[in-house]
Structure 1
Amino acid sequence: MQPFTRLEARACPLGLANVDTDQLIPARFMSRPRTAGYGTFLLHDLRFGPDGAPVPGFVLDDPRRAGARILVARRNFGTGSSREAAVYALVDYGIACVIAPSFGDIFASNAVKNGLLPATVTEDDAESLLAAIEAEPETPVCVDLTAQTIAAGDRAIAFAIDPVRRLQLLNGWDDIDLTLRHAAEIAAFARTRRTEAPWIVPGHGG
């Protein structure tokens, strides 16, 4: 996983609350292999009608949002089922950061494991940011994970993230890497434990 430190990119204002994982990727698309990519199915049933025709004016398909890597939404983003494919759909589409007032906890955990930053802001700041990128769609938004700030034009907004998740993103670590930070302490404990209680070691014969 690549470290995430700073991202400056176009942002897409998804002014919806309670966007759940079934909306992010409907279950019927999840049988395909991960290597095939899930990006084309992101928000499929909001972007396309029952006949498969694009929904006119849906913000994700606005040419002014082409190449957006940041998504701004309202509260309760990523709630619902625990499907990691919801994160795959975002990442495969090109989204590297979602900004919202609150997230489903399992979604946020899955996001970090895939290098996607879930940046939590206040509801007022989310509304301010939505208004800013609606008014100026081509203005880049800068997300700085080190400083935990978001800049859009003359607006500067602080965001929150769990400290352990922040550490993982900054270093590009998965859960195994996080554990390996303590490899020396783990090895020292194992040596001491082997000496103090040798009978617990398989094959000791005690």
Structure 2
Amino acid sequence: MDKFEKLTGIAAPLPQVNVDTDMIIPKQYLKTIKRTGLGVNLFDEMRYDEQGNEKPDFVLNQPAYREAEILVSGENFGCGSSREHAPWAIKDFGIRCVIAPSFADIFFNNCFKNGILPIPLPQEKVDILMKDAEKGANARMTVDLEAQTITTSDGEVISFEVDPFRKHCLINGLDDIGLTLEKAASIDSYESQAGQQRPWV
């Protein structure tokens, strides 16, 4: 998993509440078990018309936000079904951080397991960041996980909270497999001793 330490990038404003996982990645794209290739279909029904043409008014289709790495949205982001393809699609598009007043629990947990930092903030703080994101590509935010701060393009600093264990995992690029491999020496030692004590196993 890619490490997340400090991110400076374009923030896309999506002022919509209850963005569910079917809106993030529709069900017809759930056949794959690969984590790549889903970014093109992120927010598919909002990004494209029935003929597959881009809708020019959707934020990620606008030139200023095509390279967005941060998403600022409304409350209850990631609600709906518990599909892990939702954070896969977000990450594959290039978004590494999602900021919203609240998140659905399963989506929130899945983000951390896939190298995405979800940041819940009070509505008044999200409003500040939403206005900053609306300035376009020239307004870049910085998300510093180590310092637990978001700095707007105007230099305003907003602090956020994050679970220490999840922070450790993101900064060090550790998913569930990575966490297990950290204990590889202890596991090998145990297996060696177990083999000597119980050779019939």
TM over 0.5: yes
More displaced stretch, 178-187 vs 132-141? 178-187
How many angstroms does 1:163 deviate by? 2.2
Matched residue type, 2:111 = A
Aligned match of 1:68: 68
1:53 to 1:105, Cα distance in 2 relative to 1, 3 A: same
Aligned match of 1:160: 161
How many angstroms does 1:124 deviate by? 0.7
1:36 to 1:117, Cα distance in 2 relative to 1, 3 A: closer
Aligned-partner Cα distance in 1 for 2:82–2:73: 19
* CA offset digits 1:150-197 (Å, max 9, x no partner): 00122211122222211110111112333455667778999999xxxx
Q: Secondary structure at the match of 1:135?
A: coil
| Contact residue 47 and residue 55 of structure 2 kept, 8 A | yes
Matched residue type, 2:176 = D
| Contact residue 120 and residue 161 of structure 1 kept, 8 A | no
1:146 to 1:94, Cα distance in 2 relative to 1, 3 A: same
Matched residue type, 2:158 = I
| Contact residue 100 and residue 119 of structure 1 kept, 8 A | yes
Larger Rg: 1
Q: Secondary structure at the match of 2:134?
A: helix
How many angstroms does 1:54 deviate by? 2.7
How many angstroms does 1:142 deviate by? 0.2
* CA offset digits 1:96-117 (Å, max 9, x no partner): 1111111112112211111111
Q: Secondary structure at the match of 2:150?
A: strand
Q: Secondary structure at the match of 1:12?
A: strand
Q: State whether structure 2 residue 179 is matched by structure 1 residue 174.
A: no
Root-mean-square deviation (CA), in Å? 2.6
Q: Secondary structure at the match of 1:72?
A: strand
Stretches of structure 2 lacking an aligned partner (at least 5 in a row): none
Q: Secondary structure at the match of 1:127?
A: helix
Aligned-partner Cα distance in 2 for 1:35–1:15: 27
Q: Secondary structure at the match of 2:18?
A: coil
Following superposition of structure 1 onto structure 2, how do residues 94-105 of structure 1 map, counting pairs within 5 Å? 94-105=94-105
1:131 to 1:37, Cα distance in 2 relative to 1, 3 A: same
Aligned match of 2:124: 124
Aligned match of 1:9: 9
* CA offset digits 1:111-137 (Å, max 9, x no partner): 111111111211110011101221354
Q: Write out the 4+ residue segments of structure 1 that deviate beyond 6 Å after TM superposition.
A: 183-193
Aligned-partner Cα distance in 1 for 2:33–2:182: 32
Aligned match of 1:87: 87
Aligned-partner Cα distance in 1 for 2:82–2:99: 19
| Contact residue 118 and residue 161 of structure 1 kept, 8 A | no
More displaced stretch, 79-88 vs 101-110? 101-110
- Aligned pair count reads 200
Aligned match of 1:46: 46
Aligned-partner Cα distance in 2 for 1:110–1:163: 16
Aligned-partner Cα distance in 2 for 1:181–1:127: 40
TM-score, normalising length: structure 1: 0.84
Q: Identity percentage over the alignment?
A: 42
Aligned-partner Cα distance in 2 for 1:156–1:64: 23
Matched residue type, 1:103 = F
